[in-house]
Amino acid sequence: MLHLRRSRRRTTLASLAATLLVLPITASAHAAPPATGAARPAAHGAADRVLAAPDISVAAVKAHLAQLQSIATANGGNRAHGRPGYLASVNYVRGHLDAAGFSTTVQSFTYGGATGYNLIADWPGGDANDVLMVGAHLDSVTAGAGINDNGSGSAAILETALAVARTGLVPDRHLRFAWWGAEEQGLRGSTYYVNNLSAAARAQITGHLNFDMVGSPNAGYFVYDGDNSDGTGAGPGPAGSAEIESVIEDYFAGIGVPTRGTDFDGRSDYGPFIARGIPAGGTFTGAEGTKTSAQATLWGGTAGARFDPCYHAACDTTGNINDTALDRNSDAIAYAVWTLAAAPAPGTPVWSDGFETATGWTPNPSTADTATSGAWERGTPGATSSGVATQLTARTGAYDLVTGAAAGSSAGAGDVDGGITSVRSPAIALPSSGTLTLSFAYYLAHLNNASSADYLRVRVVGSTTSTVLTVTGTAANRAASWAVTSADVSAFAGQSVRILVDAADASTASLVEAAIDDVLITQS
């Protein structure tokens, strides 16, 4: 983890020079990648519907840590940027990933007169326009082997990636794992990666999970505060960060371990991602901070002592790991990957609409809409942008449900203006038994002239009305980016229901766009 003395994040690194490097590794047979079949229903946030994550063996994670320690010992005692121990660490991780069937790339950059490396590993399949990244920095400081900081995060995500391969996971989202270089020099590797993506490639990344120091000896259980619910520090992450936080908190709640929020203070590799509006989250067990008496009561350990007494020191070796914290956090990583990557448990489709044909959605069903432009319609949307993407093409196929499909002469030509626009589905007859789940893709985009009065809302209307999604605006640019959500609608079993969608530009004039696609109701 980056030391507080260093600047929080860099959005430009003029000194970096790009090349792509294929590093020498021992040749090994590649495992056959899993077959990619028909599209599967997404279920972000629906932990009760996704395939159960496997238990990650803490012994296997510690075996990787032992190898990283051996690499450091053989290379001057560290695995730091520009030192041979770092390159050997990259080769070690890459060898395991190549053998497991990942597609790996090593991206090189220059900082401080030395060459650094990012290792990127893509798992075959999943929606290329909905990429979930899982990252950890692989470098240490020059003082020591960096086994907790950050061999722990690197080894835990490596073993999670290998579990993806062993189980043949076929996720709805595309999975990409990353091991960042030169984090200890100021988030150099991750910043280089993000800054050198094209706008289109950046827009494809819809979430970044960051794991930096997950085995601290005097551990705390911190989760990045995606919704700023603790009300302090750097504020919330980009839209979607709260979902990541919630999923991770759900895991720890399920094993009876309390968590506390930790701020997005820019000290780790989520920094360049949230700076570009990409949702982020992850876990952290503490660095040089001191555990309070209240925290010791909450989690055990020693009050008045540092979470990691060997932070950035020579004693950060394999003896500097809390096995229980490492085990819990490794399992939390797998849980987050399996849940957020939306590998759904089997379910029987009840009703679906990808909007490729007209199925009878009714605009302005109550004749009370006030919007003067940007009314909901089923259409082929034209992509628009104004500094950030404001309207996207359909998530799948050619059509979606969108506020003003035409691109128009400018980004603001067909956006929602003047109030509320609504649209309602045809009647949907739900079965009377089983668990019924509604899922759909959506986005709300706006510029920094928006406010909390602007929103996208989705409700299910039957004998009662249930709001299943509300996204409100803020006075900041929010790029259009497809997300997927789901909700249990079993309370409506046996009823005829309709889905009611509305969006609003309800305050001062602002650029607001919204869309819905791939609506699905399943029974399980």
Residues 504, 416: contact at Cβ < 8 Å? yes
Domain-embedded: residue 36: no
CA distance 143 to 3: 13
Boundary (domain end) residue, out of 318, 340, 362: 340
Boundary (domain end) residue, out of 323, 340, 357: 340
SS3 content of the chain, % helix, strand, coil (to 5): 25, 30, 50
Domain-embedded: residue 94: yes
What residue numbers bound the domain in which 281 lies?
Answer: 44-340
Domain-embedded: residue 468: yes
Which of 325, 93, 82 has the alpha carbon at shortest distance from 217? 325
Same domain, residue pair 363 and 503: yes
Same domain, residue pair 352 and 333: no
Same domain, residue pair 394 and 413: yes
Count Cβ atoms below 10 Å from residue 17 Cβ, excluding itself. 12
Residues 45, 246: contact at Cβ < 8 Å? yes
Same domain, residue pair 330 and 377: no
Q: What amino acid positions are annotated as catalytic residues?
A: 183
Same domain, residue pair 451 and 371: yes
Same domain, residue pair 333 and 442: no
Domain-embedded: residue 25: no
Per-residue pLDDT of the chain (524 residues; tens, 9 = 90+): 875 433 322 222 233 333 333 333 322 222 222 222 222 233 333 334 456 789 999 999 999 999 999 999 999 999 999 999 999 999 999 999 999 999 999 999 999 999 999 999 999 989 999 999 999 999 999 999 999 999 999 999 999 999 999 888 889 899 999 999 999 999 999 999 999 999 999 999 999 999 999 999 999 999 998 766 665 555 677 888 999 999 999 999 999 999 999 989 889 999 999 999 999 999 999 999 999 999 999 999 999 999 999 999 999 999 999 999 999 999 999 999 999 997 555 578 999 999 999 999 999 999 999 999 999 999 999 998 888 889 999 988 899 999 999 987 776 677 898 899 999 999 999 999 999 999 998 999 999 989 999 999 999 999 999 999 999 998 989 888 887 788 999 999 999 999 999 999 987 778 899 999 999 999 98
Question: Per the structure, how many domains does the chain have?
Answer: 2
Give the residue ranges of DSSP H helices in 310-467: 323-340
Count Cβ atoms below 10 Å from residue 35 Cβ, excluding itself. 9
Domain-embedded: residue 245: yes
Report the CATH number at residue 222.
3.40.630.10
Same domain, residue pair 418 and 327: no
Same domain, residue pair 317 and 378: no
Report the CATH number at residue 353.
2.60.120.200
Q: Which residue has the tokens 């908190």?
A: 249
Give all strands (DSSP E) within 447-511, no chain letters: 455-461, 465-472, 483-488, 496-504
Boundary (domain end) residue, out of 316, 340, 364: 340
Same domain, residue pair 377 and 406: yes
* Residue 466 confidence (pLDDT): 97
Same domain, residue pair 85 and 137: yes
Same domain, residue pair 334 and 360: no
Same domain, residue pair 410 and 488: yes
Q: How far is CA 209 from CA 3, 175, 179, 334, in A?
A: 20, 11, 12, 11
